[in-house]
Structure 1
Amino acid sequence: MPSVLVVGYEPAAATGLIPGVDPDAIRAGVDEQLARFAERGIDAALATVVADGTAEPALVAALTERPWDVVVVGAGIRKTDALVPLFEQALALIHRHAPQAAVAFNTFPGDTVEAALRRL
């Protein structure tokens, strides 16, 4: 069974940091995508982080939980200028702790499955 880890910015912490974010809509979109992964027989999990000292240990724990086929890095982390250091950190940690995983990027929560499928 293929496995996908989705790494995203914690929706509740994104208010004010990511313009126009609706934490409830983000969470609903992510939950919908996790259900779509399950429908396709893909084992998927979510790891959310915030830009503080907890990001690295949270990412390392998620990345080393099992061998992932794909790690999808969410658009909130990738497209937000203030989060460039977190984006760089995430990529470095993926490279170090899940070198077998392909890396994919979504453009919003609703295309997370498609992003992963491009790399599976």
Structure 2
Amino acid sequence: MTLFATSSHHDVEGYFRRSHFHRFTVPTNDICNIVKVIEIAIGQLYKSGVRYYKYGVGLMDLHDEGLFQYDLFSQSNDNTKLMACMDNINARYGRSTVQIAAKGFEQKFAMRRAFLSPQYTTKWSDIPKIIC
């Protein structure tokens, strides 16, 4: 997993960029493990007084869960029952019905869609109608 935070190239106070890379000893699909690493990395990425322009999290080397062979010395600490329960609730009642509290409850950002181009190939209502 890689995390990064950067300021704008055009910022008067100068350009600032930091990144953090973390390799899990055992592959994980437990969001609690991922959030713990993010909490640690934030302390290394943050610098007081910087106006951040962009930040992100990237997950790399993703594999199907059934294709990984565990060994005797590296035990997984995933809570598979909790993750399965969260997945089932979100599948039944809608996306983000159950989520980690660190994510917050209010969505502060929404993409502007006023000038969205028509989706001719994926939306029936956007296909042009020809009347002869």
TM-score range, shorter chain: under 0.3
Larger Rg: 2
Which one has the bigger helix percentage? 1
Q: Which has the higher contact order (CA 8 A, sep 6+)?
A: 1
